[in-house]
Amino acid sequence: MKIVNSAFQISVSALSGLPQESFPEIVFAGRSNVGKSTLLNSLTGVKGLAKTSSTPGKTRLINYFLINQDVYFVDLPGYGYAAVGQAEKALWGNLLSSYIIQRRSISLVVLLLDSRHPAMQSDRAMIGFLESHERPYGIVLTKYDKLRQKEKVQTRRIMESCAAKAKFIVNYSSFSGKGKSELLAHFDHYIC
Ligand SMILES: Nc1nc2c(ncn2[C@@H]2O[C@H](COP(=O)(O)OP(=O)(O)OP(=O)(O)O)[C@@H](O)[C@H]2O)c(=O)[nH]1
Ligand SMILES: [Mg+2]
């Protein structure tokens, strides 16, 4: 897909506040600080569209962006952020899992994993969750610019073994733009 138009739509903190299921939704999920919001800005080419931060826990709401007037990109709060309290963690966990299970208009979950630490326990749990609910998902390995050559080979091998049902695995750097056109081409299958 080619993105010609992107606009922030709404932030919600509860399922009751979600917009009508008028468009297919491509959802960006992953651990806190993995680079979800930065990826969104890189894909749309609009700096500051999604709020980013070097401190984990920046995105705390479900944020909707309307792309090309016909698909939603959804920026989710990250999971696995240690500094939030247990109660808030449980609340987010429930919100995210209920959203992913119940929302019929989700056409694809893009699971972002840090390419330097690709198979952490919380990420494996997320992959298991998506597979058990038969949600189509693809993987983006973020911060690929930080990897050395040897690590690139290892990371790929690990991912292919623990995400067997992934529709795609894309190496991505929001800083260089590596992986952008490849990822947008995959989205073509999920936006009609
Ligand atoms: N080197 C490098 N750093 C990146 C890349 N993408 C994101 N970052 C950095 O990672 C940090 C976190 O980025 P965010 O996009 O805010 O992460 P997030 O997943 O939205 O985090 P939460 O909202 O807390 O869940 C920022 O300091 C970014 O500059 C990348 O491709 N390469
Ligand atoms: Mg964020």
Q: Is the pTM of this model over 0.85?
A: yes
The whole-number average pLDDT for the span 124-128 is: 92
Among 31, 33, 73, name the best residue to mutate to test ligand 1's pocket (greatest count of ligand atoms within 8 A of Cβ).
33
Ligand 1 neighbours, Cβ below 6 Å, are 30, 32-38, 52-54, 56-59, 77-78, 142-143, 145-146, 173-175
More confident residue, 118 or 137: 137
pLDDT band at 54 (very low <50, low <70, confident <90, very high): confident
Ligand 1 atom nearest to 56, measured from its CA: 24
Instruction: Report whether 172 contacts 178 (CB < 8 A).
Output: yes
Residue 158 predicted with pLDDT over 70 = yes
Cβ-in-10-Å burial (0-12, 13-18, 19+) of 46 comes to middle
Residue 131 predicted with pLDDT over 70 = yes
Q: Within its chain, how far is the Cα of 109 from the centroid?
A: 7
Residue 82 predicted with pLDDT over 60 = no
Residue 78 predicted with pLDDT over 90 = no
Measured CA to CA, the distance from residue 187 to residue 183 in angstroms comes to: 7
Q: Nearest CA to 75 among 114, 39, 120?
A: 39
The whole-number average pLDDT for the span 116-124 is: 89
Domain spans in the chain, listed from the N-terminal domain onward: 6-190
Q: Tell me how far the alpha carbon of residue 142 lies from the centroid of ligand 1, in angstroms.
A: 8
Instruction: Report whether 113 contacts 141 (CB < 8 A).
Output: yes
Domain topology for 6-190:
Rossmann fold (3.40.50)
What pLDDT, on a 0 to 100 scale, did the predictor assign at position 85? 67
Measured CA to CA, the distance from residue 104 to residue 178 in angstroms comes to: 31
Give the number of whichever ligand sits closest to the CA of residue 36. Answer: 1
Q: Which residues of 175-192 are buried (b: 16+ CB within 10 A; e: fewer)?
A: eeeebbeebeebbeebbe
The whole-number average pLDDT for the span 151-177 is: 94
Q: Tell me how far the alpha carbon of residue 56 lies from the centroid of ligand 2, in angstroms.
A: 8
